[in-house]
Amino acid sequence: MRERINWISNKMEPSPHEASLALLAEDQIKKVRGFHKSFPIYEPTPLVGLDQLAKKLGIKNFFLKDESYRFGLNAFKVLGGSYAVGKFIAQRLGKDISEISYETMISAETKAKVGDITFYTATDGNHGRGVAWAANKLGQKSVIAMPVGSSQTRLKAIQAEGAEATITDMNYDDAVRYVNGLAEKDPNGVMVQDTAWDGYEEIPSWIMQGYSTMAAEADEQLHDAGIARPTHVFVQAGVGSFAGAVQGYFANAYKEDCPITTIVEANVADCIYRSAQAGKLVPVGGDMQTIMAGLACGEACTISWDILKNKAKFFVSAPDWVSAFGMRMLAAPLRGDRQVVSGESGSVTSGLVATLMEDDTYQDFREALGLNEDSVVLVFSSEGDTDPAKYKSIVWDGECPSVK
């Protein structure tokens, strides 16, 4: 019998202030998008309308933002890492980010002014590759630590960007602490991490802002398709920075008419789900081994938690089979729908929506969400096949079956 999907509604008292939400205000979004648009390789990633799937599931629309096309890096994470690096360079130059373009950032003149920098981070793969890519473009160094059990394929992809990268014997959160110690000892070191803690919040806030480009693109593409707004947004979470960026964007854009947002985590690393249960931040320990490697984080980002606590409507703790089901469903679409290559951390929301609509075990959750024939659903496939061998093992060979 397969493991159960667990869910809760948000019953937490809202914070009296919403300081973190201001990070995703319209003026900030414009600066982020302007910076990313200055990249010669910038193009909005596709928003895929899966009309036949929507019809089968009994909803009005199913839209998927396909981040496998982002900057040729097969994942969305570079949006946050590149923007944080850009903000750091702008700060060093005494300028606003609106005055910094990609060409300015990578110029020899800028390199001479800012000097030597080594960017440090911990990652399961995608974030580290994005940071290494940005550092490489700047002619700077990067040092990347990966948690135990990380993919050799993802390690080699990071090293190919010129980084000094290793797989440690630690879990993700301990790897963060380890590499942060290295950065603190390096006079030229800068920690570029997408989680925040007391005393380390500025750069994580920049990373979260960087992710907002993806949500802004999706919203714009929906409008172009004649959709006023999504009724439901499902977004996955590791530390929660990605989820906070998406939730923050839509909360600011639609105010009291904000889509119903559901935060989805791997059940062995469900720190946000447990925090929502407890009404306060609760960490998860251990190795957190899951096929959803990008979500295997046990300590939530304090900045994004402030947004999710106030604005998210539901929280989900999902077993691995949900993601595997989503991967296979998107890889073998219904006739007329476009195929999407979605990796282990990218597909869990698609697998969840399909399960909720077709498995009456979760009728109570479906009804609580108000998912029906009028629903316009938006999900984000945050990565492609960043580990091709793992992708084939799941999609071709049936690893992690989703049968009841």
Q: Which of 124, 194, 270, 387 is catalytic?
A: 124
Strand, helix or coil for residue 100: coil
Where is 49: in which H helix or E strand?
Answer: strand 47-49
Rounded distance, CA 354 to CA 352, Å?
5
Rounded distance, CA 349 to CA 56, Å?
17
Beta strands per DSSP E along 126-266:
141-146, 164-167, 189-191, 232-236, 260-266
Annotated catalytic, 156? no
Residue 277: alpha-carbon gap to chain centroid = 22
Q: How many CB atoms lie within 10 A of CB 172?
A: 29
Q: Judge whether 152 and 125 are in contact, CB under 8 Å.
A: no
Residues near 27 by beta carbon (within 8 Å), at least 6 away in sequence: none
Annotated catalytic, 77? yes
Q: Which of 31, 65, 77, 309 is catalytic?
A: 77
Rounded distance, CA 347 to CA 323, Å?
5
Residue 377 pairs in a beta bridge with 62, 232
Rounded distance, CA 155 to CA 144, Å?
9
Q: Judge whether 167 and 150 are in contact, CB under 8 Å.
A: yes
Measured N-to-C along each axis, helices 26-37 and 241-254 cross at an angle, to the nearest 10 degrees, of: 120
User: What are the residue numbers of the active site?
Assistant: 77, 124
